[in-house]
Structure 1
Amino acid sequence: MYQFKQQLSNPNTNYFIIDSSSSPDHNDVDFKFYSYQNKSNKQLHAGDLIIYRRSGSASEWGNEFYLYGAAEFGETVREDLETGNSLVTIHNPYLFSHRLMKQNLRTFDWTFRTFKGKWSNFFNMNGITQITKKDFEGLLQRQKSLVSDEPNLSPEEEAIAVKCYQAEKMEAYFINDKAKGTPTRNAVNKFFSDKVKFNYHYKSALVADKDEMDLEAVRIVPWEDDNEIRLDPRNGICLTKLLAEAFTQGYFTLTDDGHVFVSTEASVNPEVNIALNKYRNRKIHMNREYSPNKKYLQYHREHIFRK
């Protein structure tokens, strides 16, 4: 929370959860601009800290809301006096390492309001809910605790992670090894890992495993092999760590329709061989929108798979 140190130490800072649709029909641009009704929502001021919420109606995941980032509320850049709509800039954006879903918040100790087991009407209908400083800090700590093996990122890397999020929204998947001298891989992995796991509902595509700590977003085409698709979530599959390593090493591959094809060389690794034998010819979970790109699967079969 280093980027919010100054605001957190300011007793005048207020804290909010705000809904952002980031749709073409709305002026919201995640981590860049926020549009809201200034006439009826006068509690937001420049310097306040916000946490982004995707409401159920705008969610990509079965109408379930989630929290996905934090930032500092900025200055007004456009105001419509007739409608009362204001457009403000967003400063110090921070992408969550793990989206906070309902399942991650059931045991969260809210202080701004008592959670009674139902989410209906828990957040304000106008899309702006004031919370406490303790809630804000606790939510940032909660999302961080769900990714135990993520390296600490520098401010420059955190900024790159946000840019990865924005670029993927525009289906721009290219990124170099460095951006203005800063290595990009850790930042990309922060964005990519959670995006892929989110697409698979934080479950393995192959194993009925609910232990999130045992999940890994594995790349189909390796990082080094193509910088044009590094941000493409359809180049990722969510697997258990053992199967992710086996896939990366080419001990099994997937057909275009997602069936597991095991290499004859898998027998050299007893642990891997035993695990793969359980899933031989089984089909991974295939989501129509987020399923692996067939071109990437073909590349894996031709260049990674141990024939």
Structure 2
Amino acid sequence: MSQNKNSQTNYFIIDSSSSPEHNDVDFKYYSYQNRNNNQLHEGDRIIYRRSGSASEWGNEFYLYGAGEFGEVVGQDPRTGNDIVTIKRPYLFSHRLMKQNLRTFDWTFRKFKGKWSNFFNMNGITQINKKDYFGLLNRQVEMSNLLQLSEKEEEIAVKCYQAEKNELYFINDEVKGVKTYAAVQKFFADKVKFNYRYKSAVAGPVNEDELVATRIVPWEKDKEIRLDPRNGICFTKKLAQAFTEGYFTFNDNGHIVISPVSSPDSEINKLLNKYQNRKIHMNYQYSPNKKYLQYHREHIFLK
């Protein structure tokens, strides 16, 4: 990568496996083969793509964040690759999956209905300014979260990085900035992503109806606030019923309905419909049994 600053900003989608072995740390460092390709320069804007081969979600690629190329801070002695800082990191509020991008009005290249060869094989695809900001707007439109301040955005990125290292603690404030909104940006999308943007018990529904619900409430345990296994994706009504204790889950993932009826007749009808239903979940991301036990003992109405 050239260290000369751009006279003109260029825009790219870059693949990252977020692998320390390759000196890629999402939103912090990017390893780049400058010897073979010098198209990237300081000040260029990037959108992160997790390729299908590196994806945690059924070999499906997705876009998940953005940033700006900074300066070269080192070189990998094994490969000779430049190691570049990422400035102005920005975590998407909603990962953009294939189904979210099929209707996107791409202008840098014509999308012909198939993704094969749409992105460059070297993991660096140059797009244009219209596509770059269009993608940023698309993920904002798909989220019902409030926009964050610059400091809160930094905290959201730190949450992403901490969770990847299985560090789940976060305080109420970081350097005088309240953390709840930033954590919710990370946590809500991570939980929904783990559930493939579907309800844990109701199956496919309109995404606007989905809520990432904490099993152990935010205020009860700072040590697990970033743990996505403390979250379950529900429709809004089921989220309300779960939070108020009108149903819970046993360790096998089956719904257990409270003998106490809700004053909301719609909730009671829903619970009768889903009685004995088992949670739909990939085992790797299933709720932590300790958290479910807490919910049964302290929130579930007996």
TM-score of the aligned structures, taking structure 1 as reference length = 0.94
User: Per-residue displacement from partner, 1:34-92 (whole Å, max 9, x unpaired)?
Assistant: 00211122010000000000000000001000000000001011135884411100100
Counterparts of residues 214-293 of structure 1 (less than 5 Å): 214-293=209-288
Letter in 2 for 1:37: Q
Q: 1:146 aligns with which of 139, 142, 159?
A: 142
Q: Where does residue 174 of structure 1 map in the other structure?
A: 169
Q: Where does residue 180 of structure 2 map in the other structure?
A: 185
Counterparts of residues 76-155 of structure 1 (less than 5 Å): 76-79=72-75, 83-147=79-143, 149-155=144-150
Aligned-residue RMSD, C-alpha: 1.4
Is the aligned partner of 1:54 residue 2:54?
Answer: no
Q: Where does residue 197 of structure 2 map in the other structure?
A: 202
Structure 2 contact 62–98 (Cα < 8 Å) conserved: yes
Structure 2 contact 246–262 (Cα < 8 Å) conserved: no
What displacement does 1:232 show? 0.1
Question: Structure 1 residues 245 and 267 mapped into 2: Cα distance closer, same or farther (>3 Å)?
Answer: closer
**Structure 1 alignment gaps of length 5 or more:** 1-6
Is the aligned partner of 1:305 residue 2:300?
Answer: yes
Please give the alpha-carbon distance, in whole angstroms, between the structure 1 residues aligned to 2:256 and 2:263. Answer: 16
What displacement does 1:23 show? 2.0
What displacement does 1:250 show? 0.5
Letter in 1 for 2:22: H
SS at match of 1:25: helix
Counterparts of residues 26-41 of structure 1 (less than 5 Å): 26-41=22-37
Please give the alpha-carbon distance, in whole angstroms, between the structure 1 residues aligned to 2:28 and 2:266. Answer: 47
**Structure 2 alignment gaps of length 5 or more:** none
Please give the alpha-carbon distance, in whole angstroms, between the structure 2 residues aligned to 1:302 and 1:22. Answer: 38
Letter in 2 for 1:109: D
Structure 1 contact 28–35 (Cα < 8 Å) conserved: yes
What displacement does 1:138 show? 0.1
Please give the alpha-carbon distance, in whole angstroms, between the structure 2 residues aligned to 1:139 and 1:180. Answer: 31
Letter in 2 for 1:45: H
Please give the alpha-carbon distance, in whole angstroms, between the structure 1 residues aligned to 2:71 and 2:235. Answer: 44
Structure 1 contact 258–286 (Cα < 8 Å) conserved: no
Please give the alpha-carbon distance, in whole angstroms, between the structure 1 residues aligned to 2:301 and 2:176. Answer: 36
Identity %: 72
Q: Where does residue 4 of structure 1 map in the other structure?
A: none
Q: Where does residue 3 of structure 1 map in the other structure?
A: none
Please give the alpha-carbon distance, in whole angstroms, between the structure 2 residues aligned to 1:208 and 1:283. Answer: 11
Aligned length: 298
TM-score of the aligned structures, taking structure 2 as reference length = 0.96
